[in-house]
Amino acid sequence: MSSTDPAEATSGHNSAAGAPAGTRATGTSLVKRGLATQLRGGVIMDVVTPEQAVVAEEAGAAAVMALERVPADIRRDGGVARMSDPALVEAIKAAVSIPVMAKARIGHFAEARVLETLGVDYIDESEVLTPADEVHHIDKWPFTVPFVCGANNLGEALRRISEGAAMVRSKGEAGTGDVKEAVRHLRQILGDIRKITQADPAERYAWAKQLQAPVELVNEVAATGELPVPLFCAGGIATPADAALVMHLGAQAVFVGSGIFKSADPPRFARAIVEATTHYQDYQIVAKVSRGLGEAMRGEESGGVVTRLSDRGW
Amino acid sequence: MVAPRVAFTGRVGVLALQGDFREHIELLGSLGVEAYPVRGPSELERADAVVLPGGESTTMSLLLESSGLLGPLVARLSRGLPALGTCAGMVLLASEVLDGRADQHHLGAIDISVRRNAFGRQRESFEADLEVVGLDRPLHAVFIRAPVVERAGPGVEVLASVQMADGTVRPVVCRQGQVLVTSFHPELVGDARLHAAFLSNIPAGTRPVATGPARARKDHVRAL
């Protein structure tokens, strides 16, 4: 399933040009985390049709998230939110050349297996969908396809990594267009990382207990000063300045859900957020791309939401 | 891993619009080479060599244009600016992209035709040891939704190849003059030998003349 697949192995040998020596290994941690590394500095956009996927790709999206409803509509419509129709995922895959991600419910490994057979490039085990299991997340190690999971704090991030997540995104409060929760979650994750780098070895055991996370991962964070996998930011990013804000706080890339296709001018918003994510340290560029952009998604103040999606995850 | 030593004393600008530029900067740093991120024309101007990292080539293509780098980079490359491109960087440096977006820019710095995502999707991404001409032992190569070279022009040296699912053998490391491209990501495994080979291949005489402060900085780096 994971790692070395004999069918993939090459008996490679060719002349002076060189050839692979040894077998090929798929689905390894290096290969899974490697794709997340390639997405850094980029914007991953939620799209609900192949046409939107093309708009996103043309605007410079590093990847798209294929789903049936953006989080703002999931909030509005209510009901149980599930994995998207495979036909939609396939149509979006066919429309673009960039990586395509799709969401499975928390703990719903059967949905995840279906998405894997569809050939999606990343699975988001997402709190935006209605959870299928209130105790367990998916055991992600046996999959060949990599997973991204949400986290509110460092303990949640490290638990997801211990289950095999190859990318973590701070959750924020999806579908609100309010960046406050994204800021809170990033600051919690990165603030605790900064503290752990100052902890002595005995204190790291206490950190592991407090975070309910393996001490080996706490030690790795202490040694490197960052998560063992890339940390991206999601949930509530609606403007170029929002993207610049979270990149400054330490996000390595941004997910934009409702913020693009609920805005007045999606192609321009998409492109402006892409440019602001790259040039987040250059406020003249952030100002330039923000100028005359029109109305951002209306949104709702995250404190007032009835269903807090970010509370999902254990 | 013990980093090889290089005699190169110039500055390497690493295109930092999107992708894994940080890994390239760190790896070049391990060789004792000054490397810095390039996001605009003034940063490009100071570079004695450039690296185009892994990432999404469509994203980088758009950002090259919007950041005003496209014209200056094409001009510098046509005058012989040494360039290393990995994965998306290979796609950008190619003279032809077989299945790119119609609006995707390619810089035409090396006479190759490249096919994107040639192995398939992420589940087909893999790691393997790879023999590369000129390296003492195999390089551990990570192929992430990797491109391959389907046509290499007469002036292009093929330094490594792999076998595809259909049995054909495709180049994955190519060099033409001072331009070196790889389908995979040497920057992800902390092995600096290809970066060292790239820099060692730059003859001192052909390096662009540096300005005053740059010269001082070079002396500083040499002293290290």
The answer to whether B127 and A30 have CB atoms below 8 angstroms apart is yes
Cα gap A162→A176, rounded to integer Å: 30
Cα gap A205→A87, rounded to integer Å: 48
- Give how far Cα A174 sits from Cα of A167, A178, A188, A244, Å: 18, 8, 17, 18
- Give how far Cα B81 sits from Cα of B6, B71, B73, B159, B166, Å: 18, 14, 9, 21, 36
- For chain B, domains (ranges, CATH) are 11-200 (3.40.50.880)
Could you read off the pLDDT of A83-97 as tens digits, one per residue? Answer: 999 999 999 999 999
3-state secondary structure at position B4 = coil
Say what the pLDDT of residue B191 is: 96
Question: Which residues of chain B neighbour A271 with C-beta distances below 8 Å?
Answer: 62, 66
pTM of the complete model: 0.91
Say what the pLDDT of residue B216 is: 32
User: Are B127 and A146 an interchain contact pair (Cβ–Cβ within 8 Å)?
Assistant: no
B159 at interface of A, judged by CB pairs closer than 8 A: yes
User: Are A31 and B126 an interchain contact pair (Cβ–Cβ within 8 Å)?
Assistant: yes
From B210's Cα to the closest Cα of chain A, the distance in A is 26
User: Are A24 and B158 an interchain contact pair (Cβ–Cβ within 8 Å)?
Assistant: no
Identity of the amino acid at B134? G
From B9's Cα to the closest Cα of chain A, the distance in A is 28
Determine which of A60-69, B54-63, B199-208 has the lowest per-residue pLDDT on average.
Answer: B199-208
Q: Show which residues of B are catalytic.
A: 87, 185, 187
Find residues 70-99 of chain B whose CB sits inside 8 Å of chain A. Answer: 87-88, 99
- Give how far Cα B94 sits from Cα of A251, A273, B57, B109, B115, Å: 31, 28, 11, 6, 10
B175 at interface of A, judged by CB pairs closer than 8 A: no
The answer to whether A304 and A271 have CB atoms below 8 angstroms apart is no
Local confidence pLDDT in tens for the 314 residues of chain A = 333 333 333 333 333 344 444 589 999 999 999 999 999 999 999 999 999 999 999 999 999 999 999 988 998 898 999 999 999 999 999 999 999 999 999 999 999 999 999 999 999 999 999 999 999 999 999 999 999 999 999 999 999 999 999 999 999 999 999 999 999 999 999 999 999 999 999 999 999 999 999 999 999 999 999 999 999 999 999 999 999 999 999 999 999 989 999 999 999 999 999 999 999 999 999 999 999 999 888 888 888 887 889 999 99
Which residue in chain A has the smallest CA separation from B23?
A37
A28 at interface of B, judged by CB pairs closer than 8 A: yes
Find residues 56-95 of chain A whose CB sits inside 8 Å of chain B. Answer: 57-63
